[in-house]
Amino acid sequence: MAIDIRVMQPFRRLARGHARPETTLLRTTTIISISTILYSFVRCEFFLVLVSFTALLSEILVVFLAGVPYSSTQLHIAFFISTYASIAILGLMVLTFALIVFWWRVGNPDIPRAPDTLGVLWSYLCWSDNMLRSFEDLSSLEPKERDRRIVEGGRRYVFREVEGTDGVKRWIVDEDNSESIETDGRTGGG
């Protein structure tokens, strides 16, 4: 579940429209919960911090659960610590799960396939005429220079459903040409 949330985070921002490339297109996705906690905290993505922290605690829960069944060879304090730590972790997991079900899923775009493979990502990009045209000359650049030029270009991006020239509706990531001033969930310029 935590990996799905990490993958969908940039697409949620893109679906709102007028998204900056730093928080969407150029964003790196982490795989390990510890690194996700650090990167997400720096980016002020506190829900992702909570989900990653809960995923990390779920690994630690296995250790605490081993100490819950009381035996005569066990210290009494170890039993209490294991029991209360397990209850606290399970309580946080239930709270996080409720937030995922009732808050996170509501804000996700209703897309046919999750963007968790290269094939799906490419399918979202193949009809993105404006964005692909603006990225044409960037393929030969070093990654840092490419990213700098994309950011300095000042373009904003959107993830939306469009009808192609063939009459088929499909989801695409493309440049946002709207006049919206909303930026990644906050109002104001920048």
190 domain-assigned? no
Pairwise CA distance, residues 62 & 150, whole Å: 44
pLDDT tens for residues 109-131? 888 888 888 898 888 888 888 88
pLDDT tens for residues 147-185? 898 898 888 999 998 887 788 888 989 888 875 444 444
185 domain-assigned? no
Q: What is the pLDDT of residue 95?
A: 96
Burial of 10 (0-12, 13-18, 19+ CB in 10 A): buried
47 domain-assigned? yes
Please say if the pLDDT value at position 189 is more than 60.
no
Q: At 186, which helix (H) or strand (E)?
A: strand 186-187
Q: Is the pTM of this model over 0.75?
A: no
Q: Domain range holding 75?
A: 2-177
Asked if residue 178 lies in contact with residue 18, where contact means CB atoms within 8 angstroms, the answer is yes
Q: What is the pLDDT of residue 103?
A: 84
- Residue 19 dihedral angles phi and psi, to the nearest 5°: -90, 140
- Residue 187 dihedral angles phi and psi, to the nearest 5°: -95, 150
182 domain-assigned? no
186 domain-assigned? no
Q: What is the pLDDT of residue 164?
A: 78
For the chain, give the percent of residues with pLDDT over 90.
19
pLDDT tens for residues 6-46? 888 888 888 888 888 888 888 877 878 888 898 889 888 89
Pairwise CA distance, residues 94 & 112, whole Å: 28
**Helix (H/G/I), strand (E/B), else coil: 117:** coil
Please say if the pLDDT value at position 190 is more than 60.
no
Averaged pLDDT score across all residues of the chain: 83
CA dihedral over 112, 116, 118, 124, signed as positive or negative: positive
Asked if residue 23 lies in contact with residue 184, where contact means CB atoms within 8 angstroms, the answer is yes
30 domain-assigned? yes
Asked if residue 58 lies in contact with residue 97, where contact means CB atoms within 8 angstroms, the answer is no
187 domain-assigned? no
Q: Which residue blocks in the chain are alpha helix, DSSP H?
A: 2-16, 33-42, 46-66, 76-99, 118-125, 129-135, 143-152
Q: How many domains are contained in the chain?
A: 1
184 domain-assigned? no
106/63: higher pLDDT: 63
Q: What is the pLDDT of residue 109?
A: 82
